[in-house]
């Protein structure tokens, strides 16, 4: 098709990158934000602005909290559509399982439970025979915290980076997976195209014409973060392979999977089914103390990250206690399981085999649950470098072709440029607008979280319409003014978010940095101000470039 192998690779790199680069931009940007998702949650929900807490006492605090927990109305409604007959009253449903989860960055405690129901499923293959309840509590007191408010960081930005928040049939997850595969192809073809990688590592000529400086920046950011980009695309595919892309254990091999669960339960000593004999729960605190003693003997003393109880109130009940692995990269829980009625140790999970250890390490490195703030910021830098690499790829595509398209009366560059504006400045503007809405909407407003979501989509849609409306100059081989206009809007939105946080909560930077240091909130405010400065610099630079180009045309100089 083309004259050489390298030209063929260039064609693949260009068009694969262009078609799915918009998806990759979303994945990289919101992946970078997800590194500090819990901190963004603290900013968005002021009631949770206190220091991270360890797992509280079950006997003295959580036992009563779970006694007060009821099935959630949303899950009640969803379950009612899948079972025969009416569900019993929520207060009559017995709790048969529970969990409590926290991390070294979580001030709050997330809890959940399963409640048994007597109903049979409409679909015989549906083994969902429970109703779930969940809540967020203050681990210091056990008081329930607002759980109807949107956790913008962990429940919106984080899922956005791997699902695009398109959940119907998991289409978003599959689109991102396809984009990750395309990215691996783009990385390989990019290396083949650019034989002088070491030279391009150090080459950036910002004072050259736009096409040249943009290509330099595209090459440099691609080379600098090449290992980062490859690793995260690859591990993202690995993590989701068994859950979404090839879920054969839950579909084609489901009978074998169900049988394996029974055999595994016999092997591990952890009962698969209830005995049908009531039994009291022994002291969970004593089990926690024993788990910590065992971890200390293994030279890995630590706190509890996850507490689970299966078959609650039954003779076959057992308590699973997992260590918070914030001191290591590998996502390992070192689980210890106890007989619920006596506190006897049933099983200590053995070290993983080599394949499992590699999987745990790769998963932990991708999900970064570890406590290493410098490495977290390097993750953010890597994600933003990915955004720069993709954004400059869009700009280079347009700059290289817009003169020819203008001569031939084509509109392709105009459309690509408008989509690039929407995916770069428009996406960031939508995310910041969501934070602005979070501080403007009344706390007691019904459906407040939904309004924040709609703000995000509305602003993003408006940025697309604005970019299309202002893109006419691109068809004439000139710059789209939407770039600098949306940069100015972004700068104003960032400053507004910081000021609104101060006005609505009293947490200004002087307080959160010096008087009562709370870096989760201060970090978000500082990041917003940094974004505002970058936006102002970019807008002014774009305006200056336009002035130079106009002057060059007046003087008869072909600038572009």
- Are 94 and 314 contacting, i.e. CB atoms less than 8 angstroms apart? no
Per-residue H/E/C for 183-246 = HHHHHHHHHHHCCCHHHHHCCCCCCCCHHHHHHHHHHHHHHHCHHHHHHHHHHHHHHHHHHHHC
Burial class (CB in 10 A: 0-12, 13-18, 19+), 63: middle
The pLDDT value recorded for residue 209 is 66
Of 110-119, 263-272, 432-441, the poorest mean pLDDT is in 263-272
Of 150-154, 260-264, 515-519, 550-554, the poorest mean pLDDT is in 550-554
- Are 403 and 560 contacting, i.e. CB atoms less than 8 angstroms apart? yes
Rounded CA separation 413/400 (Å): 9
Q: Look at 442 and 129; give whichever has higher pLDDT.
A: 442
Mean pLDDT, residues 220-235 taken together: 83
pLDDT surpasses 90 at 125? no
Q: Look at 112 and 267; give whichever has higher pLDDT.
A: 112
pLDDT surpasses 60 at 556? no
The pLDDT value recorded for residue 32 is 94
DSSP three-state, residue 307: strand
pLDDT surpasses 80 at 9? no
Q: Look at 535 and 103; give whichever has higher pLDDT.
A: 535
Residue spans of the domains in the chain: they are 1-45+151-265, 50-150+266-367, 411-560
The pLDDT value recorded for residue 170 is 87
Rounded CA separation 492/88 (Å): 52
Rounded CA separation 341/328 (Å): 33
The pLDDT value recorded for residue 350 is 84
The pLDDT value recorded for residue 550 is 64
DSSP three-state, residue 323: strand
CB atoms within 10 A of CB 25: 24
The pLDDT value recorded for residue 373 is 85
pLDDT surpasses 80 at 3? no
Of 86-100, 173-187, 378-392, the poorest mean pLDDT is in 173-187
pLDDT surpasses 90 at 405? no
The pLDDT value recorded for residue 558 is 46
Mean pLDDT, residues 327-336 taken together: 81
Chain mean pLDDT for the chain? 86
The pLDDT value recorded for residue 553 is 57
Q: Look at 450 and 219; give whichever has higher pLDDT.
A: 450
Mean pLDDT, residues 418-445 taken together: 94
Q: Look at 128 and 31; give whichever has higher pLDDT.
A: 31
CA dihedral for 539, 542, 548, 552, sign (positive or negative): negative
Residue 70 — left, alpha, or beta (φ > 0 → left; ψ -120 to 50 → alpha)?
A: beta
- Are 302 and 54 contacting, i.e. CB atoms less than 8 angstroms apart? no
pLDDT surpasses 50 at 560? no
Q: Look at 201 and 465; give whichever has higher pLDDT.
A: 465
Rounded CA separation 495/501 (Å): 10
Mean pLDDT, residues 469-495 taken together: 91
The pLDDT value recorded for residue 557 is 47
pLDDT surpasses 90 at 57? yes
Question: What's the pLDDT band for 203 if we cut at 50, 70, 90?
Answer: low
């Amino acid at each position: 098709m083309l004259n050489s192998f390298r030209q063929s690779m260039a064609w693949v790199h260009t068009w694969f990158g262009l078609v799915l680069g918009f998806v990759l931009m979303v994945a990289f940007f919101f992946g970078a934000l997800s590194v500090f998702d819990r901190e963004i949650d603290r900013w968005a929900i002021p009631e949770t602005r206190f220091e991270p807490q360890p797992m509280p006492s079950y006997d003295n605090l959580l036992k009563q909290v779970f006694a007060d927990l009821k099935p959630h109305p949303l899950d009640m409604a969803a379950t009612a559509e899948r079972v025969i007959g009416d569900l019993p009253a929520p207060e009559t449903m017995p709790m048969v399982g529970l969990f409590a989860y926290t991390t070294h960055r979580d001030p709050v405690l997330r809890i959940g439970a399963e409640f048994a129901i007597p109903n049979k499923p409409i679909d015989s293959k549906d083994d969902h025979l429970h109703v779930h309840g969940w809540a967020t509590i203050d681990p210091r007191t056990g008081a329930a915290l607002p759980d109807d408010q949107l956790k913008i960081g962990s429940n919106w930005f984080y899922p956005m980076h791997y699902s695009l928040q398109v959940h119907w049939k998991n289409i978003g997850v599959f689109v991102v997976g396809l984009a990750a595969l395309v990215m691996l192809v783009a990385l390989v073809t990019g290396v083949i195209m650019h034989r002088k990688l070491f030279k391009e590592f150090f080459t950036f000529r910002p004072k050259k014409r736009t096409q040249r400086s943009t290509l330099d920046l595209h090459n440099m950011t691609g080379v600098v973060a090449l290992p980062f980009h490859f690793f995260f695309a690859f591990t993202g595919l690995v993590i989701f392979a068994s859950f979404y892309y090839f879920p054969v254990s839950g579909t084609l091999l489901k009978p074998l999977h169900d049988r394996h669960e029974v055999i595994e339960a016999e092997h591990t000593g952890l009962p698969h089914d209830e005995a049908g004999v009531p039994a009291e729960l022994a002291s969970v605190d004593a089990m926690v103390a024993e788990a910590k003693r065992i971890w200390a003997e293994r030279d890995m003393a630590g706190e509890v990250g996850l507490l689970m109880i299966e078959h609650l109130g039954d003779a076959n009940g057992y308590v699973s206690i997992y260590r918070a692995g914030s001191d290591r990269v590998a996502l390992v829980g070192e689980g210890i399981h106890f007989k619920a009625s006596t506190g006897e140790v049933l099983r200590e999970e053995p070290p993983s085999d080599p394949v499992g250890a590699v999987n745990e390490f790769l998963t932990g490195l991708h999900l970064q649950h570890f406590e290493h703030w410098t490495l977290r910021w390097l993750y953010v830098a890597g994600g933003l470098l990915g955004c720069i690499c993709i954004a400059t790829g869009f700009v280079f595509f347009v700059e290289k072709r817009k003169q020819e398209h203008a001569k031939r009366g084509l509109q392709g560059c105009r459309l690509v440029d408008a989509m690039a504006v929407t995916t770069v400045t428009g996406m960031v503007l939508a995310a910041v607008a969501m934070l602005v809405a979070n501080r403007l909407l009344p706390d007691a407003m019904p459906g407040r979280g939904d309004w924040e979501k709609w703000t995000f989509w509305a602003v993003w849609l408006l940025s697309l319409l604005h970019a299309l409306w202002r893109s006419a100059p691109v068809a004439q081989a000139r710059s789209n003014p939407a770039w600098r206009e949306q940069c100015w809007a972004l700068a104003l939105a960032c400053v507004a978010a910081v000021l609104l946080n101060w006005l609505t909560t009293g947490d200004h930077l002087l307080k959160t940095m010096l008087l009562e240091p709370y870096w989760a909130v201060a970090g978000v405010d500082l990041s917003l101000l940094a974004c505002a400065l970058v936006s102002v610099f970019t807008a002014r630079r774009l305006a200056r470039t336009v002035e130079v180009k106009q002057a060059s045309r007046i003087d008869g100089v072909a600038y572009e």
